[in-house]
Structure 1
């Protein structure tokens, strides 16, 4: 990867704080500078990094690309140093690390809720809520919630996931917390769960997901970019962020598909992980800058250098 933000001393400090001052994580999250979910042009670019919590470490042909936590944190910090990146999506361990490392001021923090459907597990479709819950996010000052909903009509494990998701949507609406649903129609094929990315399947998944819960007032969607994306967006009135997917695809083709879909009514930006964090050429800053230009074309970026940011971890430790 080109460019680094954190030093060995930063990571040593983080490890020490985890062992000696665990209360620091709640403090830095509560004290960080927060921002509105939408501002300016009303679009968002969110960098996603909740894949490891589900045991999904691969990027393209590299089966352990996301296994090195220090490398992942540095890549996330490079992405977040771009002022046109609005925020980050992660499991609690990732968010705690980034908060303590001091890179979440003025960023939207999206908490990932259900990561219990471990990749390759026999129980993968019973996607338990093993991460954040609504109460913990509200208490910690998390700005947004996110859930994965894979609907497998041939697997009874889908039913408890739908029930838990409906409950989460209801609680989020009651708490005034935006919640992002990422739905797929899925099936078992040769011992693996595969998502159906046909236009018809995505439309069906949207229809199921947007009806979950007692209120859709705070529900957003996170959808893959597929053929006939205009038909997909005609299936919902909910605000939608586009899913980036794996960087194994042709980057030029991927970026071009985003560019077209971003113009559709209802689309509010991108939520992208591996494509930006692990680009084929290793240039994280460059990949992020391209995506940021697509999402915020009229926003003039101000220079931001996190290498000189005061990344002290708590007021008590200064």
Structure 2
């Protein structure tokens, strides 16, 4: 699909109500299809100022290019849906790309990459009422906990209330937890050791008044052999996140192998992967997506 930016802008300018109308007529589907597995393409990075992929600092900055990559990914067999912020989902609605797909709204994007307040991750994206009103299927939120940063407490409390709000509407919410820290240079990094991921799972699983609608969105640990023990921490269903994958074909192949092993674990129900599929090293989006689907 070739995206006509001028047409999108024309619709947004003259008929902004077209977005709500497209959401109202969108054909919906169950969260899990016949396969019982979930393959979601993620594109909520730009709203946190995270536009880079590999060595390309502004790879995701061209919206027409991003939308074309997303439409291609969504058209591939076995791809269940998309995770994105309101601006991107609105464009995809206008393009008619979301019929029969799982639509997941990104809820907190306030922890801007590189900001002094990065770990005070306010809810600046979709609210539970927005997801319900637009007839979307789920929400996702980021929960980075740094023991030495008071902003983490604000994020924890806000996350718990978001879990409650989603559960009240019987809407699934995917919680993406990390134990994080700042380097001496001030950069926020996520600890992917088995102990840290285990603690993050335990913290995230207990948030809110019920866990009935809570899913986890989790990384593969530094040592993939630890994943079986780590995933025994909770009975909540989980999906694996793509995370930072290097720019070379070898690094991408390594990521696929990590996912393949973890996908065999009983609580792991699928994948939510973004940049490594939309911007693969060889540029072949369809092949990258098909390979990831094949892991399921």
TM-score, scaled relative to structure 1: 0.90
Query: Is residue 2 of structure 2 the alignment partner of residue 6 of structure 1?
Result: yes
Residue 252 (structure 1) aligned with residue 240 (structure 2) = no
The answer for the alignment partner of 1:279 in structure 2 is: 280
CA positional deviation for 1:247: 3.0
CA distance in 2, matches of 1:279, 1:259: 18
Q: 1:13-52 alignment to 2 at 5 Å?
A: 13-52=7-46
Deviation of 1:274 after TM superposition, in Å, equals 0.5
Structure-2 residue corresponding to 1:204: 199
1:216 matches 2:211: yes
Q: Answer 1 or 2: higher relative contact order, Cα 8 Å, separation at least 6.
A: 1
Q: Does 1:166 align with 2:160?
A: yes
Deviation for aligned residue 1:11 = 2.4
What SS is found at the alignment partner of 1:271? Answer: strand
Q: Distance in 2 between matches of 1:266 and 1:251?
A: 24
Number of equivalences? 289
1:209 & 1:101 partners in 2: Cα distance? 35
Between the aligned partners of 1:20 and 1:281, the Cα distance in structure 2 is: 39
Is it true that 1:119 corresponds to 2:120 in the alignment?
Answer: no
The separation in 2 between residues aligned to 1:61 and 1:203, in whole angstroms, is 31
Q: Which moved more, 1:47-56 or 1:249-258?
A: 249-258
Aligned pairs for 1:92-241 (under 5 A) are: 92-189=86-183, 190-226=185-221, 227=223, 228-241=226-239
The aligned residue for residue 62 of structure 2 is 68
Q: Is the 8 A contact 1:247 1:278 kept in 2?
A: no
How far off its partner does 1:13 sit?
Answer: 1.3
Cα RMSD between the aligned structures?
0.8
Task: Determine helix, strand or coil for the equivalent of 1:164.
Answer: helix
1:132 CA drift (Å): 0.2
Shift of 1:95: 0.4
Q: CA deviation at 1:29?
A: 1.1
- Stretches of structure 1 lacking an aligned partner (at least 5 in a row): 296-318
Deviation (angstroms), 1:89 = 0.1
Q: Which runs of 4+ in 1 moved over 4 A?
A: none
Q: Could you tell me how far apart the structure 1 residues matched to 2:62 and 2:5 are?
A: 13
**Secondary structure class of the residue paired with 2:90:** helix
How far apart, CA to CA, are the structure 2 residues paired with 1:41 and 1:282? 28
* SS of residue in 1 equivalent to 2:129: helix
Give the equivalent residue in structure 1 for 2:268: 267
Separation in structure 2 between the aligned mates of residue 151 and residue 95 of structure 1, nearest angstrom = 28
